[in-house]
Amino acid sequence: MIIAVVPALRAGARIGRTLAALRRQSRPLERIVVVCDDAADAAVAPALDAGTEVLLTVDNAAHEAGALNQVLDAVRMAPEDLVLVLDADAELPVQFLEEAVTALRDRNVGAVPVRRTPGEGAAAVVRRQALEEVRAAFGRYWDEGAVTGHGRLALDLETLGWRLGAPVSVPGLQADDAPADRGAAGHEAAVLGAVAPEPAEPRPAEHGPAAPEPAEHEPVVHTPAAEGPEHARAPEDGHVVAARPVVAAAA
């Protein structure tokens, strides 16, 4: 399974263009989740209009990094699954996901970014297993400190011995002319491909399959649930972020 996670804090109506580009991918996604801090966020309505799930954070003061940590901790996935993390203003070309999945057939590769130019939204496909190793080693998925974003994730993966795939070069990657507000200084996402790690030792062959097969997925109406002290994940049919009510995809 491949799930797209889009932190859309203050992204507004531009999120509709990002989601439309995701729906056009030549390799279909099984699930798309938009993350907002509040049900009144201007990105909620366009996301629901696009038939996309919307999850709400709880007491999030760490902007995109905090939103990603909450949703990745709540959404139940298998180790072999892949996560497409992208900025709310990134419009990916139709071949991006297909090209990234092909690169991930190398089981030593933990993530594959898109090649972009300044001002364009960042995106990367990351192995769920690699993300779990980052959380086990550092106590979080995304760094909420001064150095955050995709660039920091690249450093974390390198530290754990994962290789980064070459950035996917696909023409036509675009972003909205007015980039989304990233919040406080220091929280704007860096491009994963900007970090050039030293070659790492090959990882064991059991580190993930080449790529999951696509599967049919229908939107699920969610109900509130509470996380326990161990951050237990919700059942497969009721993914939530902590105890905040979830806005479900429109029927």
d(CA 195, CA 224): 39
172 exposed, middle or buried (CB, 10 Å; 0-12, 13-18, 19+)?
exposed
Beta-strand (E) ranges in the chain?
2-7, 31-36, 53-56, 82-86, 90-91, 109-113, 123-127, 163-164, 174-175
pTM of structure: 0.70
Please indicate whether residue 93 or residue 211 has the higher confidence score (pLDDT): 93
User: How do residues 139-196 score in pLDDT, each as one tens digit?
Assistant: 999 998 876 678 889 999 999 999 999 888 655 444 333 333 333 333 333 334 333 3
pLDDT at 103 > cutoff 80: yes
